[in-house]
């Protein structure tokens, strides 16, 4: 009886008494603490308790326990072969080449003897070798002038080749086959890039670089020879030669972007175009509001691919310079040269990706 | 009015409609006549530039010796012969390995590596694009970074790894390093991000499909153009692969090596050099026909609409 009375009195008291300011603050503080605790626990993946020892349910967390979480680990089997390969053939060599860039490297039997020299390699490059800086500037400048042309020309080609017209298959063949066929030796033989000073076209993976040096008198097309035989004034011949080389370079570099663009264009659902036709959109509007936004990801892919093609192709002056250093067994120097170059490429790419995703892709979503 | 229209008029009207329909079917990118003209010109001009060296190569391979030495070189052949092709095997007599062995090596390496590369790359891309494995972002960052480094930077340390693994002078030296090339993962992920709807994968899971089945039967058909394109690129790169310091046995070398040996044999062998070039062109063209032929077909749009 007594207890019961007390309780009643107690409750009455609390109801009557207004909570003081300090009490409110205390309560708020406790609440905040509990919240923080819950957040912390969420990050760790544990369950959070409030002050009373009850579990705080977190409504934002997806419940990934059970089958779902097992499945997400199952995903690792999918990436595992690739990860192993990546570590073996990319990450380990990458780290060792980074150490080479800051060391003096002496090849021993089966391994490399490295002594740490800090920035000595870079000092040497910048003090004793003017060509490196010039090459660096020229290859980056070339890249910024060629990139827009290649992207625009290949997008136009892809759009034309993706539209419906008579002989589409034939024209696709005309544009792709030479590009697909001409790699490495075939490329060298076709254009005789080292035979004469004619059309110098190089679009090959780095592996096949040695092909060029061995291709001597292939018997492929030599434009300068052909132009000379026309017996035009010398200046015109020279100008034509440069022009033809430029056009060739553009077309042959465009091949892969065109293929990529077409693959991207193929994935745009035709319903979108049907809808735009119903709405009465012009071809121009159709391009800006449907085609371009739909291939945003592909465009990014093409930009990156072109960047890699342009900056890492075999006739890049920096790469040639570094390769010469490899031949001179100056592994440290060559690594240093390439690392600086690729750091710059990386920065440019990162910037492009950032700007592109922040502006274009966001707006197009 | 309709009643007064004669039979001939009706026929003419029908014809006109048919014509219009046919014209619609082959509508080009722009609708104006000037635009059509410009695009046709663009196509023909660029097309000529792109096809010319190949055409010249085929023509040269068919020329008899006396026509080969004509200056300036002709763009046509008067009496075509297959002589250059027939003398090819005898040219390689001093190489101890028959031409067919080089061809076998090239085909084996290209096909096996392309298959593995596409499979491994798409599997990794599928996981990166469509599941929530821990460390996903780190892995993709590595993919993007590795795209920028070409083989030169890594050549020497890679060689050390090859020799440590005993891969020098075996087929593995061709195959293994090319499988984890990150282009495949990058390309496939970009396409899977946009073209494989999450709802489709959920639906498959609810229907009881396992992870592999979801990947193989749901995700992959949806990005068919992407992996067909990847196959083409991969084959193209591998077909021209030439060993750089990793292969020494003659019987393990590839066709490009044989081709450059023939090309070195002098001006009189121009025909043979072009003949071997023509032979080397055939497999990539076949791959092109197979892959792009099905890319141009309509996409698999089953599932979600």
Number of domains into which chain B is organized: 2
Asked whether residue A83 is assigned to any structural domain, the reply reads no
pLDDT tens, B201-234?
Answer: 888 888 888 888 888 888 888 888 888 888 888 8
Q: Are A174 and A184 in contact (CB under 8 A)?
A: no
A87 vs B25, residue with greater confidence: A87
Rounded CA separation A337/A344 (Å): 11
Rounded CA separation B177/B246 (Å): 12
A184, A221, A346 member nearest B240 (Cβ): A184
A159, A174, A175 member nearest B29 (Cβ): A159
- C-alpha pair distances (Å), A146 with each of A37, A100, A223, A346: 55, 32, 22, 18
Q: Which two structure tokens, joined as six digits, stand for B68?
A: 């080969």
pTM: 0.70
B122 and B226 belong to one structural domain? yes
Q: What is the CATH number of the domain that holds B137?
A: 1.10.3720.10
Contact B123 A165 (CB under 8 A): no
Contact B127 A76 (CB under 8 A): yes
Asked whether residue A162 is assigned to any structural domain, the reply reads yes
pLDDT tens, B41-55?
Answer: 878 887 887 777 778
pLDDT of residue B118: 93
B114 and B217 belong to one structural domain? yes
Asked whether residue A76 is assigned to any structural domain, the reply reads no
A236 and A352 belong to one structural domain? yes
Q: Which two structure tokens, joined as six digits, stand for B21?
A: 């329909």
pLDDT of residue B298: 36
Give the range of the structural domain holding residue B257, as residue numbers without chain letter: 93-295
Give yes or no for residue B114 having a pLDDT over 90: yes
Asked whether residue A146 is assigned to any structural domain, the reply reads yes
Average pLDDT over residues A227-240: 69
Number of domains into which chain A is organized: 2
Contact B299 A267 (CB under 8 A): yes
B182 and B284 belong to one structural domain? yes
B49, B177, B292 member nearest A172 (Cβ): B292
Asked whether residue B199 is assigned to any structural domain, the reply reads yes
pLDDT tens, A89-143?
Answer: 888 888 888 888 888 877 777 677 777 777 778 888 788 777 888 888 888 887 8
pLDDT tens, B84-108?
Answer: 788 777 776 666 778 788 889 899 9
Q: How far is B8 from chain A (nearest CA, A)?
A: 30
Asked whether residue B16 is assigned to any structural domain, the reply reads no
B210 and B232 belong to one structural domain? yes
Residue of B nearest to A72 (CA): B133
Rounded CA separation A204/A224 (Å): 22
Measured between beta carbons, the chain A residues lying within 8 angstroms of B182 are: 86, 90
Rounded CA separation B96/B100 (Å): 12
Give the range of the structural domain holding residue A271, as residue numbers without chain letter: 132-364
Asked whether residue A88 is assigned to any structural domain, the reply reads no
Asked whether residue B240 is assigned to any structural domain, the reply reads yes
Q: Which two structure tokens, joined as six digits, stand for B104?
A: 């076998």
Give SS3 for A1.
coil
Query: How high is the mean pLDDT of chain A?
Result: 71
Contact A267 B60 (CB under 8 A): no
Asked whether residue B260 is assigned to any structural domain, the reply reads yes
How far separated are the first and last CA of chain A, in Å rounded? 70
B144, B158, B299 member nearest A93 (Cβ): B158
Give the count of Cβ contacts less than 8 A between chain A and B.
Answer: 336
Give yes or no for residue B115 having a pLDDT over 90: yes
């Amino acid at each position: 009886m007594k207890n019961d009375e007390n309780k009643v009195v107690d409750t009455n008291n609390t109801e009557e008494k207004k909570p003081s300011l300090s009490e409110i603050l205390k309560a708020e503080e406790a609440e905040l603490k509990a919240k923080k605790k819950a957040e912390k626990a969420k990050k760790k993946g544990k369950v959070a308790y409030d002050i009373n020892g009850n579990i705080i349910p977190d409504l934002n967390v997806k419940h990934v326990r059970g089958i779902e979480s097992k499945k997400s680990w199952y995903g690792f089997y999918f990436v595992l072969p690739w990860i192993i390969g990546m570590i073996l053939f990319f990450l380990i060599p990458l780290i060792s080449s980074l150490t080479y860039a800051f060391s003096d490297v002496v090849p021993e039997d089966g391994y490399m003897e490295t002594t740490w020299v800090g920035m000595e390699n870079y000092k040497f490059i910048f003090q004793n070798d003017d060509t490196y800086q010039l090459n660096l500037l020229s290859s980056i400048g070339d890249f910024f002038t060629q990139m827009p042309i290649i992207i625009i020309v290949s997008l136009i080609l892809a759009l034309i080749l993706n539209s419906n017209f008579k002989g589409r298959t034939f024209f696709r063949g005309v544009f792709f086959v030479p590009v697909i066929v001409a790699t490495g030796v075939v490329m060298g033989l076709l254009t005789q890039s080292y035979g004469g000073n004619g059309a110098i076209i190089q679009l090959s993976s780095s592996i096949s670089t040695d092909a060029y040096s061995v291709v001597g008198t292939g018997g492929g097309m030599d434009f300068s020879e052909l132009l000379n035989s026309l017996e035009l004034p010398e200046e015109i011949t020279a100008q034509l030669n440069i022009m033809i080389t430029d056009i060739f370079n553009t077309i042959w570099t465009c091949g892969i972007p065109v293929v990529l663009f077409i693959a991207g264009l193929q994935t745009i659902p035709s319903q979108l175009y049907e809808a735009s036709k119903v709405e009465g959109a012009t071809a121009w509007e159709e391009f800006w509001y449907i085609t371009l936004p739909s291939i945003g990801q592909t465009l990014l892919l093409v930009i990156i691919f072109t960047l890699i093609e342009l900056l890492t192709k075999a006739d890049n002056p920096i790469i040639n310079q570094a390769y010469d250093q490899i031949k001179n067994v100056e592994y440290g120097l060559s690594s240093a040269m390439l690392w600086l170059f690729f750091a710059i490429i990386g920065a440019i790419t990162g910037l492009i990706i950032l700007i592109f995703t922040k502006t274009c892709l966001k707006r197009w979503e | 009015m309709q009643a007064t229209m004669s039979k001939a008029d009706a026929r003419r009207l029908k014809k006109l409609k048919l014509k219009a329909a046919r014209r619609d079917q082959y509508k080009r990118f722009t609708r104006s006549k000037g635009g059509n003209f410009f695009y046709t010109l663009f196509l023909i001009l660029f097309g000529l530039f792109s096809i010319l060296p190949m055409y010249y190569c085929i023509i040269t391979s068919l020329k008899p010796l006396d026509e080969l030495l004509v200056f300036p070189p002709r763009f046509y052949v008067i009496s075509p012969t297959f002589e250059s092709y027939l003398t090819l095997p005898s040219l390689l007599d001093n190489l101890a390995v028959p031409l067919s062995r080089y061809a076998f090596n090239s085909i084996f390496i290209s096909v096996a590596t392309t298959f593995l590369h596409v499979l491994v790359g798409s599997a990794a891309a599928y996981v990166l694009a469509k599941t929530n494995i821990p460390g996903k972002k780190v892995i993709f960052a590595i993919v993007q970074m590795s795209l920028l480094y070409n083989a030169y930077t890594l050549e020497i340390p890679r060689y050390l790894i090859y020799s440590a693994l005993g891969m020098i002078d075996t087929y593995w030296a061709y195959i293994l390093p090319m499988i984890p090339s990150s282009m495949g993962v990058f390309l496939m992920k970009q396409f899977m991000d946009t073209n494989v709807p999450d709802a489709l994968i959920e639906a498959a899971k609810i229907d009881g499909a396992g992870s592999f089945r979801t990947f193989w039967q749901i995700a992959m058909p949806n990005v068919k153009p992407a992996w067909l394109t990847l196959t083409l690129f991969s084959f193209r790169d591998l077909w021209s692969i030439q060993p750089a310091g990793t292969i020494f046995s003659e019987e393990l070398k590839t066709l490009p090596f044989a081709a450059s040996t023939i090309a070195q044999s002098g001006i009189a062998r121009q025909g043979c050099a072009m003949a071997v070039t023509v032979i080397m062109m055939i497999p990539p063209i076949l791959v092109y026909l197979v892959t792009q032929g099905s890319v141009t077909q309509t996409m698999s749009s089953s599932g979600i609409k």
